[in-house]
Structure 1
Amino acid sequence: MRRDKILWSTVLIVSSLLLIGYSLWEYTISKNMNFRPYGSGFYGRGMMNRWFSPYNSQQNNGNKQKMSIEQIKNAVEGYIQGYGGSLEISDIFVFKDTDYYVSIEEKNTGKGAMELLVNPYTGAVYPEYGPNMMWNEKYGMHGGRGYGIMGSSMMRGSGWNRNYQDNYDSKQIERQEAVKIGDEYVKRSIDKDFSVLNEGHEFYGYYTFHVNEGDKPVGMLSVNYYTGDVWYHDWHGQLENIIEHDKE
């Protein structure tokens, strides 16, 4: 037992040092040679940009004009090609002062695969944080096709994925009940004029629904379909438009 503890402690320390060293190296390279290590530039999709965006709408890399929706789509399609052509864009949420949100579906099942954010000035694409990272069983940090900070397997102990594997495909909360849970949450915790609609996607492990204020869509929240936990997406800002990919 003591040897196992020493072994795992050593692995964690070494992995942390490698991560710090890698980050410092990429920072030095990008600073001295003007590369964009996490975007669509020299390094492509480096291991860190799977979970952390190097940009936001205030850091537009000198670009003063937002990209067109067609350019945003091209950037996203380039990103999801890394999954073997099995995914497609479902809809795009255009926000005024923050990165755009894009939901991705599986072509063969129609089920939600992942949620992405896109910098509208640079086209940098990265996975959305929150439920997409923590609850997504297939494409998130706990899933077989997602990528954690150190890749798909490094730093995983024997219990890393246990709760997700044990509960996989044993959904506890159906969609309509999840809508009710989300609706009660926004009315109680945010604003009584807010409501959750039965519009959105079922992902692997949770639902993401649209949130309205009166008749106007203003954002989204997610409901874990095992526990009923609610995660409001409060990082988006003012919603300007929703573009549904199959209704253009």
Structure 2
Amino acid sequence: MNRRRTDAVLLASLALAGAVALGGCGASGDATGPGTPSATSTAPGSAPSDLAGGGPTPSGPTSGWGPGMWGDDESPGMMGGDGGSWAPGMMGSGMRGNWWLAGDGHPVRTLDRARERATAFADRLGLRVGEVMQFTRNFYAQLETGAGRQATEVLVNPADGAVQIEYGPAMMWNTDYGMHHGSRSGTDVSASQARDIARRWLRAHGTTLTAGDPESFPGYCTLHTLRSGRITGMLSVNAATGQVWYHDWHGDFVRMDDHR
């Protein structure tokens, strides 16, 4: 990825942020914000489609980010190689350890190996690894605090084990570990409201997928999308605005491991 294309992607990611989340999804369903968020509110991510019977089909402005950011031989980009990591360029070299961990040159093919790499990244932040998932394009892991609260989400590059804060909500909405860290205020959207918003958003976009239980992160919730009770992918709901961001960069779901 050349410098011009890199700059374009960075500008696009900033534009997609929309409103900055100012709180975290609550743990109960009795919170009532200043208004009821709409499932049809502007969604930075793509609309899913299961007309062909498969998983959600990327079609929005974040389409193609996954493989294109990794910087392997097939798609040099933002995670390594000549493209380098976007984090040091955006935030200064001091942020490198908080946003990106270089790969060790060994491929990641198992959940245990992905957990190992995610742990190497989490240790830098004083966090631990919770749920780990494998998709056809990348590995995904949730990082938790020592008290077991969700902190942020990361991606592990299957080509060489590089780890980065996940783009999308973890990067743009997370008020503790994202680009807008520190901008914390009240929470308008509870966890149960986030699930209702996700369900309405999925229906409004013509999919038969359903929404799983919300996982509360600082500034937003992330929920699995399901077909007949089986995971297909995930989406996030902004805790302050009710915006929905579908994670269209993972590819198809393969397997998961939620042991600690």
What is the TM-score of this pair, normalised by structure 2? 0.59
Q: Does 1:92 align with 2:132?
A: yes
Paired residue for 1:201, among 193, 211, 215?
A: 215
Instruction: Give the gaps of 5 or more residues in structure 2.
Output: 1-6, 8-77, 90-95
Match of 2:246 in 1: 232
Instruction: Tell me, in whole angstroms, the C-alpha distance in 1 between the residues paired with 2:100 and 2:249.
Output: 14
SS at match of 1:143: coil
More helix by share: 1
> How do 1:168-207 residues align onto structure 2 when only pairs under 5 Å count?
168=185, 170-191=186-207, 193-198=208-213, 200-207=214-221
Q: 1:221 to 1:38 in 2, by over 3 A?
A: closer
Paired residue for 1:132, among 170, 182, 194?
A: 170
Match of 1:69 in 2: 111
SS at match of 1:120: coil
Given that 1:111 and 1:201 are in contact with CA atoms closer than 8 Å, whether structure 2 keeps it comes out as no
Q: How many residues align?
A: 174
SS at match of 1:47: helix
Given that 1:99 and 1:117 are in contact with CA atoms closer than 8 Å, whether structure 2 keeps it comes out as yes
Give the RMSD, CA atoms, in angstroms: 3.1
Q: Does 1:106 align with 2:148?
A: no
What is the TM-score of this pair, normalised by structure 1? 0.62
Instruction: Give the gaps of 5 or more residues in structure 1.
Output: 1-15, 17-36, 56-60, 145-163
Paired letter, 1:195: T
Task: Report the alpha carbon displacement of residue 235 of structure 1 after superposing the two structures with TM.
Answer: 1.2
Instruction: Tell me, in whole angstroms, the C-alpha distance in 1 between the residues paired with 2:87 and 2:194.
Output: 35
Greater CA radius of gyration, 1 or 2? 1
Given that 2:223 and 2:235 are in contact with CA atoms closer than 8 Å, whether structure 1 keeps it comes out as yes
Paired residue for 1:80, among 122, 128, 143?
A: 122
Instruction: Tell me, in whole angstroms, the C-alpha distance in 1 between the residues paired with 2:160 and 2:202.
Output: 33
Q: 1:190 to 1:129 in 2, by over 3 A?
A: farther
Q: Does 1:211 align with 2:225?
A: yes
Give the % identical residues: 31
Q: Which has the higher contact order (CA 8 A, sep 6+)?
A: 2
Instruction: Tell me, in whole angstroms, the C-alpha distance in 2 between the residues paired with 1:122 and 1:217.
Output: 26
